[in-house]
């Protein structure tokens, strides 16, 4: 956007000192080429390669930017940070910087003009997680505020992670409270560490701003000026999700429900609500559905275009280099108190600062003061005003309508209604106070009302801010009116069309006849003479068709498709002919309908139609449609052009001005048409001959070029069509200021409206209204402390929506099956499947266990991306059925306790089973006797003690549970509670968890198993080969030879043994003494260490004290802030 700004070219001085200087000195030699040339070939190569690589890093995937360049919607600048960090101060400073207005209360979106091509909408995000999510979804630029004296807080990281999963907008970090750090060294080191952490979180080199102390309740002007310069040059890359959806950040909300309905239902009835805001993203179609996060899905009752409340500077001021000061004053913030006026949901508050005296004439008055004074000027009551007012039904009627005396309450109601539609409903006193002004208004309105029903809206815009803001009116009439108009138009067209047709046809034919004669005299070939008249006929045919307003015939007439086509005169003529041929056979019609009956693609070949093709002339007449016969065609073209030009004037008025505007424009001035033709020819030529230079474009440039061309076409195609018709065709374009009317809005949204919570209107795609099972790739966030469990409720923020659902976690098991996981794996992605609204694959999301501010830890529990959408899902979990054999034959065994009935067995016939010892087998057939017992065969004989088991997969379905988070409907918006875990409910109710006795862990007393000795029958033993025979021997009874003898040593041997013994004893003693010594040394050392430890603990304690003191101060600040932001907590 910034690159469009075309600055005045620099004009170097032609005379004077500078010009004289110019030619002299160093620059005369010019650029020294050798200076930067590489010295060696290798260096040159390296440098070239580096340059090429650097060029590649510059490239990004070309994305279409759907935001119009000429009038883009304001950029949403979100100011985010933990409480007490200075968000409101920054907001006020920035608003002051752009609009020179001081807001005493900044609530809701505030739109200001930042430059000729840039508007900004500031939104302050409160500390609620819901708001942070919503703001993260729409913000184009985030000013992330960090308390420099405290450091990063959990909310900051949470917000960054939310941004990450919803497409990362631009982020500028802002460090505040740096004046609290007194020591320069500490300051610089703090800055450094914070910057380092910030960079790792966003990217290396992310912009971090430093704001020092507060002056007059604002940040220093120079610093704010610098910041605003950064904002003004910021470039934005389109984000994929926002490029697919229309959305709107509502800066104003009005309740349009009739007062009576509200009164009669005690305010509990569903409301009709209008929301106002700039459209962003893509085009918004009229009958699409929208989602308001925190409220729910709604369908648009009507959308209407309003005049821009904060328009760009017009062409007049465009000429100036700078934005004019007057434009700078423009600010649109209906929820705040601009000029001392606050628009609440059903009242207007005028804030008068200090002392207020009526008579101080010289003093400029704010908007609100002016209003109050106008009210005070009221000379008579509303009733009198009404009585005096003269309402004329028509502008030309001479006598005004008489106001008859009516019941008082009826009149009140009337007046009240009018006021309601203006200001979203005043309280009684409000309407009474506005008596005089109101009556004035009514006079003018009465006149206006002749023109159309748009009056209501226009009042609504003019009300209140005459002094500062431009009066804005809806560009187009209300939709209903437009449709009426169109219908009427179509009727008149078809009525009028034929008469004129006849006239003009006659004319043309006459002309043709003349021409034909001329040709004849010139002795042209026979077929050529006919051509002219034939061309004329086809021309007329074309003309007739052109006269038809296809758009309204198709879309706003109740004719059947066949009738639509038959309004074509030529077709009608043929129909008549047919009728004549067949006499008065009325059967024919019905026959035709029965033919239609079959819903066929091919139309019947009409023998009449085909027969005419035997005519040579007709055959020749289409020769120009083939490549072989183009010479004659060109000649004809010239002739026809002439016709067209001569006739051009009279049929232009007959055409529908809305749809055919572009076509008429073409025919209207032949010069333009000629120019266009030349342009086309030139393009064709360029395409043919400029190929070599064009081929220099790489893929990237080609793609960008393609996108630019398409955008150009998008812009040009519907240009010039009347606004309402255009909206019908392509919807409302981004950048428009819209008023959206919603029906059946829960009354709590109005009752509990709080401007500090952003209201978002997100458009839904066709698919996103459906529900289904979403399969997502999910990973538990590494900072979330708990693992996630299957079927525990989880809050997802996906697309525009925030909702609670019950996910089932799973992993792909060898690409065979999806196997359920009870818990999410550590440090690994897994799949999750849950029921919810469909969202496009590749949409990112983040998930939370709870959104409340009470939980101290990191609240984002998981992040991921949508993979797949389906209406059913197949996830299985392992199921092991066990049984025990009760009778064993050789390889066959009867198994019981696995199934309960023969029917169950029948289902599993042929299934594979296994024993614990690894014997494989098969289920054969059910047995009659014990219920559920069956016969099974194994590959070997099983033991009675074996356990047989059957491995099976049990498929599970996620529960179809979807619970949208309705946080905007609550009076206490931070405390939404959805489905809770059973444990949480029990804890709250003080119930104990019921325990299954069988699930208790007890000491299992397993008796030692005793096996009987193996007995081999004697006879068998005898037959066995020796190697297989059991070798059972009795223990030896006799003493051996060696056992019987005593061993006596020789004297030398004895001596040697004794010596060895002594040596060993000595050694032992030595070791013992050494150990003793070491123990003593260690004792000394230990004492020393103990001493050191004591010192260290002392130090730690002091440090901790320091930290706690800081935390305490912060908490105190927060509580101060909560207590009505009374005295500023810091003076500077």
Q: How far apart are CA 842 and CA 830, in angstroms?
A: 16
- From the CB of residue 160, how many other CB atoms can be counted at a distance below 10 Å? 20
Residue from 550, 585, 586, 889 in contact with another protein (CB under 8 A): 550
Per-residue contact flags (x/-) with another protein for residues 748 to 767, judged by CB under 8 A: -----------------xxx
- What is d(CA 777, CA 865) in angstroms, rounded to the nearest whole number? 5
Separation between Cα atoms, residue 698 and residue 679, nearest integer Å: 26
821-850: contacts with another protein (CB under 8 A): 838, 840-842
Q: Of the candidates 153, 483, 792, 868, which one interacts with another protein according to CB under 8 A? A: 868
Of 140-148, 349-357, 656-664, 1088-1096: span binding another protein (CB under 8 A): 656-664
The reply to whether 76 sits near another protein by the rule CB under 8 A is no
Smallest distance from another protein to CB 625, Å: 6
Is there binding between residue 941 and another protein (CB under 8 A)? no
Instruction: Please select the residue that binds another protein; options are 35, 405, 627, 828, rule is CB under 8 A.
Output: 627
Within 699-728, which residues bind another protein (CB under 8 A)? 710-711, 713-714, 717-718, 721, 728
Indicate the residue among 622 and 985 with the shorter CB distance to another protein: 622
Q: What are the CA-CA distances from residue 971 to residues 86, 754, 1128 (Å)?
A: 26, 9, 28
Note whether 650 binds another protein by CB under 8 A.
no
* Binding segment (CB under 8 A) for another protein, from list 230-238, 392-400, 560-568, 850-858: 560-568
Report the residue number, 287 or 484, with the smaller CB distance to another protein. Answer: 287
Q: What six digits make up the tokens of 967?
A: 């946080």
Q: Are 760 and 800 in contact (CB under 8 A)?
A: yes
Mark 11-50 with x for binding to another protein (rule: CB under 8 A) and - for no binding.
----------------------------------------
DSSP secondary structure string, 428-490?
Answer: HHHHHHTHHHHHHHHHHHHHHTTT-TTHHHHHHHHSS-TTTS-----SS--HHHHHHHHHHHH
Burial per residue of 352-361, b for 16 or more beta-carbon CB atoms within 10 angstroms, e otherwise? eeeeeeeeee
Give the residue with the Cβ less far from another protein, 276 or 732.
Answer: 732
Applying CB under 8 A, among 88, 126, 660, 790 the residue interacting with another protein is 660
**Is residue 1019 left, alpha or beta, with left meaning phi > 0 and alpha meaning psi from -120 to 50?**
alpha
| DSSP-derived secondary structure for 1029-1078 | S----PPP-S--HHHHS-----HHHHHHHHHHHHHHHHHHHHHHHHHHHH
Radius of gyration of the chain, Cα coordinates, nearest whole angstrom: 44
Task: Report if residue 296 touches another protein, rule: CB under 8 A.
Answer: no
* Least Cβ distance, residue 1111 to another protein (angstroms): 45
Total of residues contacting another protein (CB under 8 A):
92
The correct pick among 409, 604, 988, 1076 for binding another protein (CB under 8 A) is 604
Q: Does 659 bind another protein (CB under 8 A)?
A: yes
Using CB under 8 A as the binding rule, the residues of this chain from 673 to 692 that contact another protein are 677
Question: What is the DSSP code (8-state) at residue 396?
Answer: S
In the complex, the smallest distance separating the C-beta of residue 725 from another protein, rounded to whole angstroms, is 9
Interface with another protein includes 662 (CB under 8 A)? yes
Show contacts with another protein in window 308-347 (CB under 8 A): none
Closer to another protein by Cβ: residue 307 or 516: 516
Determine phi and psi for 676, rounding to 5 degrees: -65, -40
Count CB-CB contacts under 10 A for residue 610: 9
Q: Does 236 bind another protein (CB under 8 A)?
A: no
Told to check if 1084 binds another protein by CB under 8 A, we report: no
What stretches of 733-795 show up as alpha helix (H) in DSSP?
Answer: 747-751
* CA distances to 52, 100, 126, 176, 879 from 139, in Å: 35, 24, 14, 21, 49
Using the rule CB under 8 A, is 61 a contact of another protein?
A: no
Each residue 252-291 as x (binds another protein by CB under 8 A) or -, in order, gives ------------------------------xx-xxxx---
* Encoded tokens for 114: 């930042």
Name the residue nearer to another protein (CB basis): 223 or 769. 769
Give the nearer residue to another protein in terms of CB position, either 615 or 1023. 615
- 66 belongs to the binding site for another protein (CB under 8 A): yes
| Cα–Cα dist 939/923, whole Å | 12
Footprint on residues 870-889 left by another protein (CB under 8 A): 870-872
* Site for another protein contains 70 (CB under 8 A): no
Closest CA to 796 of 983, 978, 984, 985: 978
Strand order in the sheet with 110-113: 208-210, 170-176, 141-147, 75-80, 119-124, 110-113, 331-332
CB closer to another protein out of 17 and 600: 600
> Which lies closer to another protein via its Cβ, residue 871 or residue 1045?
871
Give least dist CB 503 to another protein, A. 18
Binders in 440-479 for another protein, by CB under 8 A? none
986 contributes a contact to another protein by CB under 8 A = no
Q: How far apart are CA 89 and CA 393, in angstroms?
A: 53
Q: Which of 554, 573, 592, 675 binds another protein (CB under 8 A)?
A: 554
| Shortest spacing between CB 269 and another protein, in angstroms | 20
**Binding test (CB under 8 A) with another protein, winner from 69, 105, 637, 1100:** 637
Closest to 730 (Cα-Cα) out of 799, 659, 657: 659
List, as one string, the DSSP characters of 939-988: SSPPPTT--EEEEEEEEE-----EEE--GGG-SSTT-------HHHHHHH
- Of 115 and 836, nearer to another protein (C-beta) is 836
Q: Is 577 in the site for another protein (CB under 8 A)?
A: no
Binding to another protein (CB under 8 A) within 524-543 occurs at 535, 538-539, 541-543
**What is d(CA 927, CA 182) in angstroms, rounded to the nearest whole number?**
89
The DSSP call for residue 655 is: S
635 belongs to the binding site for another protein (CB under 8 A): no
Spatial contact of 805 and 793, defined as CB atoms under 8 Å apart = yes
Contact with another protein (CB under 8 A) among 598, 688, 928, 999: 598
Q: Does 507 bind another protein (CB under 8 A)?
A: no
Q: How many CB atoms sit inside 10 A of residue 1059's CB?
A: 10
Pick the piece of the chain touching another protein (CB under 8 A) from 4-12, 158-166, 171-179, 635-643: 635-643
CB of 394 to another protein, least distance (A): 35
* Residue 596 is a binding residue for another protein (CB under 8 A): yes
CA 513 to chain centre: 65
| Residue 38 or 542 having the CB closest to another protein | 542
| Residue 943 engages another protein in binding (rule: CB under 8 A) | no
Sign of CA dihedral 161, 166, 168, 174: negative
Residue 602: phi, psi to the nearest 5? -80, 135
Q: Applying CB under 8 A, which of residues 349, 498, 613, 889 lies at the interface with another protein?
A: 613
| Residue 869 interacts with another protein (CB under 8 A): yes or no | yes
Least Å distance, CB 177 to another protein, is 45
Measured CA to CA, the distance from residue 518 to residue 511 in angstroms comes to 11
Instruction: State in angstroms the smallest separation of the CB of 730 from another protein.
Output: 4
Q: Residues 80, 127: contact at Cβ < 8 Å?
A: no
Exactly one of 38, 400, 629, 930 binds another protein (CB under 8 A); which one? 629
By CB under 8 A, the residues from 769 to 798 that bind another protein are: 769-770, 772
8 Å CB contact between 838 and 776:
no
The correct pick among 551, 753, 757, 934 for binding another protein (CB under 8 A) is 551
């Amino acid at each position: 956007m910034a690159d469009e700004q075309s600055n005045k070219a620099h004009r170097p001085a032609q005379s004077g000192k500078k010009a004289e200087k110019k030619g002299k000195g160093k620059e005369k030699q010019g650029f020294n080429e050798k200076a930067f040339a590489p010295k060696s070939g290798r260096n040159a190569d390296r440098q070239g390669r580096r340059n090429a690589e650097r060029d590649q890093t510059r490239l990004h995937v070309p994305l279409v930017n759907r935001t119009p360049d000429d009038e883009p919607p304001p950029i949403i600048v979100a100011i985010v940070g933990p409480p007490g960090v200075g968000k409101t101060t920054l907001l006020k400073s920035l608003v002051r910087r752009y609009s020179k207005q001081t807001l005493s209360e900044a609530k809701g979106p505030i739109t200001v003009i930042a430059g000729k091509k840039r508007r900004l909408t500031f939104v302050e995000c409160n500390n609620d997680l819901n708001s942070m999510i919503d703001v993260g979804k729409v913000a184009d630029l985030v000013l992330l505020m960090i308390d420099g004296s405290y450091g990063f807080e959990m909310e900051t990281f949470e917000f960054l992670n939310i941004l990450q999963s919803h497409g990362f907008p631009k982020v500028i970090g802002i460090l505040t409270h740096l004046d609290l750090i007194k020591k320069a060294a500490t300051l610089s080191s703090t800055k450094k560490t914070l910057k380092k952490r910030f960079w790792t979180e966003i990217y290396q080199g992310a912009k971090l701003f430093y704001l020092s102390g507060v002056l007059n309740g604002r940040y220093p002007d120079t610093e704010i000026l610098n910041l605003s310069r950064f904002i003004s040059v910021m470039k934005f890359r389109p984000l994929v999700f926002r490029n697919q959806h229309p959305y709107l950040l509502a800066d104003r909300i009005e309740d349009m429900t009739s007062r009576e309905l509200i009164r009669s239902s005690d305010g509990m009835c569903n409301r009709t609500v209008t929301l106002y805001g700039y459209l962003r993203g893509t085009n918004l179609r009229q009958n699409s559905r929208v989602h308001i996060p925190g409220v729910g899905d709604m369908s648009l009752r009507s959308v209407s275009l309003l005049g821009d409340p904060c328009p760009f500077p017009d062409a007049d001021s465009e000429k100036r280099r700078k934005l004019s000061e007057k434009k700078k004053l423009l600010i649109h913030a209906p929820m705040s108190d601009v000029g001392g006026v606050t628009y609440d949901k059903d009242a207007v508050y005028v804030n008068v600062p200090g002392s207020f005296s009526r008579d101080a004439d010289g003093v400029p008055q704010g908007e609100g003061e002016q209003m109050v004074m106008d009210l005070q000027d009221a000379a008579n009551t509303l009733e009198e005003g009404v009585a005096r007012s003269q309402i004329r039904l028509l502008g030309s009627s001479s006598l005004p309508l008489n106001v008859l005396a009516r019941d008082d309450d009826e009149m009140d109601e009337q007046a009240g209604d009018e006021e309601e539609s203006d200001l979203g409903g005043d309280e009684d006193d409000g309407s009474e106070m506005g008596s005089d002004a109101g009556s004035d208004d009514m006079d003018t309105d009465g006149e206006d009302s002749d023109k159309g029903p748009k009056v209501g809206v226009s009042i609504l815009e003019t009300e209140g801010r005459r002094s500062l803001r431009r009066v804005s009116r809806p560009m187009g009439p209300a939709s209903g009116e437009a449709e009426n108009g169109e219908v009427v138009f179509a009727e008149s067209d078809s009525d009028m069309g034929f008469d004129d047709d006849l006239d003009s046809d006659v004319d043309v034919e006459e002309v043709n006849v003349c021409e034909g004669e001329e040709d004849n005299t010139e002795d042209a070939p026979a077929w050529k003479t006919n051509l002219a008249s034939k061309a004329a006929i086809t021309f007329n045919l074309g003309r007739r068709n052109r006269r038809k307003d296809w758009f309204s015939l198709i879309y706003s007439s109740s004719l059947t498709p066949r009738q639509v086509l038959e309004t074509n005169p030529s077709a009608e003529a043929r129909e008549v002919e047919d009728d004549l041929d067949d006499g008065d056979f009325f059967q024919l019609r019905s026959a035709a309908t029965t033919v239609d009956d079959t819903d066929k693609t091919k139309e019947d070949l009409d023998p009449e139609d085909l027969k005419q093709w035997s005519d040579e002339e007709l055959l020749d007449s289409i020769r120009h449609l083939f490549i072989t016969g183009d010479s004659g065609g060109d000649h004809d073209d010239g002739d026809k052009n002439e016709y067209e030009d001569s006739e051009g004037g009279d049929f232009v008025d007959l055409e529908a001005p809305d749809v055919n505007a572009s076509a008429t424009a073409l025919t209207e001035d032949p010069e333009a048409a000629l120019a266009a033709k030349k342009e086309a020819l030139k393009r064709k030529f360029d395409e043919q001959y400029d190929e070599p230079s064009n081929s220099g474009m790489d893929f990237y440039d080609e793609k960008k070029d393609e996108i630019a061309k398409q955008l150009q076409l998008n812009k040009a195609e519907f240009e010039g069509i009347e606004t309402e018709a255009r909206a019908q065709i392509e919807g409302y374009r981004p950048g428009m200021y819209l008023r959206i009317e919603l029906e059946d809005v829960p009354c709590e949204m109005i009752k509990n409206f709080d401007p500090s919570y952003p209201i978002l209107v997100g458009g839904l795609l066709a698919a996103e209204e459906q529900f289904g099972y979403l399969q997502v790739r999910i990973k538990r966030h590494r900072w979330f402390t708990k693992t996630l469990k299957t079927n525990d409720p989880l809050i997802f923020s996906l697309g525009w929506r925030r909702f609670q659902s019950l996910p089932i976690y799973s992993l792909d098991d060898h690409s065979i099956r999806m196997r359920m996981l009870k818990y999410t794996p550590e440090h690994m992605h897994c799949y999750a499947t849950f029921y919810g609204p469909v969202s496009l694959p590749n949409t990112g999301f983040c998930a939370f266990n709870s959104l409340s501010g009470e939980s101290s830890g990191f609240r984002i529990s998981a992040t991921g991306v949508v993979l797949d959408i389906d209406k059913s899902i197949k996830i299985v979990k392992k199921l092991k059925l066990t049984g025990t054999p009760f009778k064993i034959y050789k390889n066959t065994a009867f198994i019981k306790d696995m199934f309960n009935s023969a029917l169950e067995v029948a289902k599993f016939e042929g299934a594979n089973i296994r024993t614990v010892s690894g014997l494989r087998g098969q289920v054969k057939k059910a047995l009659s006797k014990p219920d559920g017992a069956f016969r099974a065969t194994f590959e070997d004989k099983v033991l009675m003690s074996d356990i047989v088991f059957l491995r099976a997969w049990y498929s599970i379905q996620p529960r179809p549970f979807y619970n949208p988070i309705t946080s905007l409907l609550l009076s206490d918006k931070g405390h939404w509670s959805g489905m809770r875990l059973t444990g949480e409910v029990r804890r709250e109710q003080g119930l104990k968890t019921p325990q299954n006795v069988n699930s208790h862990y007890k000491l299992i007393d397993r008796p030692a198993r005793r096996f009987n000795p193996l007995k081999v029958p004697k006879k068998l033993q005898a037959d066995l080969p020796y190697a297989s025979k059991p070798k059972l021997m009795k223990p030896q009874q006799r003493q051996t030879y060696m056992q019987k003898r005593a061993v006596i040593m020789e004297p030398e041997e004895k001596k040697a043994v004794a010596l060895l013994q002594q040596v060993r004893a000595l050694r032992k003693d030595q070791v013992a003494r050494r150990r003793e010594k070491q123990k003593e040394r260690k004792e000394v050392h230990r004492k020393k260490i103990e001493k050191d430890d004591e010192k260290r603990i002392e130090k730690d304690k002091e440090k901790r004290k320091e930290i706690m003191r800081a935390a305490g101060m912060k908490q105190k600040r927060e509580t101060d802030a909560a207590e009505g932001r009374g005295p500023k907590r810091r003076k500077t």
